[in-house]
Structure 1
């Protein structure tokens, strides 16, 4: 009975977390601030919230091996690069397409496993990869003739998706070595340091933004990063990757609906068709890899 109850809680956490992170791109677009600055305050505010819980677990931290400690640190660095690039892509294009492209992580994980670890991939993986690429070309077709920033947004978010995949690889290892809150705390500190360096290297400032922007950043850092990702990290500790990974592909769908309602951000028929094709391709890549 206890296991059944835990499984139900894990599914509820997964779907609630999914809905919350689906609004990430909306908050980035609504902040009216440089993407890298928004990315920094997301994880910096989350780090402040998580600092006291982290201190209360200091004895657990001291008992961690170097390998265990490296997992959330390296994962946080990858997440910092991912969220910085993704926020930039949203800033210069729209909310939906970069979110979809950033979810190409399973594709890059599969290709990385092939070329780095010499893992053979199934026929389903290659079919899914071909479907995904065709969907990407379909979405970008109109932007070849119209300068709407979409191709630049797609290009940047594809790179972001590679780092998102790296983050998930470290998280899968790290969550097996420590609890949700501890992993989220350490990875958030590392992500804050990474995005902070990004702001320092950029021409933008940490201050001088509107009150509404600060309110959005508070909601983004506390609600999305601490709340949403804590729920998802919790589910990752109790559900199989074959369940969690494909489910997270619902994020761009939620983002598209929210962007249409809140931002009046309409997608062309080609973008909708291409987006659905991409999701189908990623789903096939995801499920065939995880089964293997």
Structure 2
């Protein structure tokens, strides 16, 4: 239910605003994961995580462009995008506990079946269509099901089982960099110097969280 609700509100946020706004606000999930880990998990977030989160979010903002925030609308889509990040962070924290006793394949099978049934009931209740899509539409849906859902979430669940939830959530911010590169290769979208700079900052922030010992900002920059 947590996972399906995250998917539902995120798609609504995209429909009612823009993919950029929805993705950026959803990617605040590392903050919520850190707060949730602090209160509910035995392994508390290290100082490195908070430093890395701040650096990564600054990199994300730089990549998207500061002018984006001037046109930011604090409407229902804004709230849904933030809610999506909160739901995802709760899902990740719950998954971390469950995956300590359940194997990844069993976890994903039960999770995807339950979320599919829940989303089916939700769509039926809201009068959303299940048929009538074009051939291209069905192809995209199948492609998303196999790659974006099955393969990607198997990978994320495996990572969640073997890594700290805080590191997993922050590492997923790298998708913004990968998306920009793919858009440049296949959609002929332009990559600016600002985007490159923002991507480097973002990846550097993720790298900070993987230091094995807690370090100060002075030590961090002296090493890099």
Alignment TM-score, normalising by the size of structure 1? 0.55
Residue of structure 2 in register with 1:206 after alignment = 130
Report the CA distance shift for 1:279/1:156 in structure 2 as closer, same or farther (over 3 A). farther
**Which of 86, 103, 111 does residue 187 from structure 1 map onto?**
111
Does the 8 Å CA contact 2:60/2:176 hold for their aligned counterparts?
no
Match status 1:230 vs 2:158: no
How far the C-alpha of 1:250 sits from its partner, in A, is 3.2
Residue of structure 1 in register with 2:145 after alignment = 221
Q: Deviations over 1:239-281 (max 9, x none)?
A: 4448972654433322222223333444665555445544544
Give the Cα separation in 1 of the matches to 2:191 and 2:77.
15
Q: Deviations over 1:32-89 (max 9, x none)?
A: xxxxxxxxxxxxxxxxxxxxxxxxxxxxxxxxxxxxxxxxxxxxx2211222233344
**Which of 108, 119, 141 does residue 66 from structure 2 map onto?**
141
Report the CA distance shift for 1:197/1:248 in structure 2 as closer, same or farther (over 3 A). same
**Which of 83, 86, 97 does residue 10 from structure 2 map onto?**
86
Q: Helix, strand or coil: the match of 1:208?
A: coil
Give the Cα separation in 1 of the matches to 2:193 and 2:122.
36
Give the Cα separation in 1 of the matches to 2:159 and 2:49.
25
How far the C-alpha of 1:134 sits from its partner, in A, is 3.9
How far the C-alpha of 1:184 sits from its partner, in A, is 0.6
Give the Cα separation in 1 of the matches to 2:33 and 2:213.
14
Report the CA distance shift for 1:277/1:82 in structure 2 as closer, same or farther (over 3 A). farther
Alignment TM-score, normalising by the size of structure 2? 0.68
Report the CA distance shift for 1:114/1:235 in structure 2 as closer, same or farther (over 3 A). closer
Q: Structure 1: where are the runs of 5+ without partners? A: 1-76
Q: Helix, strand or coil: the match of 2:130?
A: coil
How far the C-alpha of 1:212 sits from its partner, in A, is 0.9
Report the CA distance shift for 1:137/1:103 in structure 2 as closer, same or farther (over 3 A). closer
How far the C-alpha of 1:128 sits from its partner, in A, is 3.3
Q: Structure 2: where are the runs of 5+ without partners? A: 215-224
Does the 8 Å CA contact 1:242/1:291 hold for their aligned counterparts?
no
After TM superposition, the structure 1 = structure 2 runs for residues 4-19 of structure 1, keeping only pairs within 5 Å, are: none
Q: Helix, strand or coil: the match of 1:177?
A: coil
RMSD after superposition:
4.0
After TM superposition, the structure 1 = structure 2 runs for residues 99-114 of structure 1, keeping only pairs within 5 Å, are: 99=23, 101-114=25-38
Does the 8 Å CA contact 1:78/1:166 hold for their aligned counterparts?
yes
Give the Cα separation in 1 of the matches to 2:68 and 2:31.
23
Give the Cα separation in 2 of the matches to 1:270 and 1:197.
44
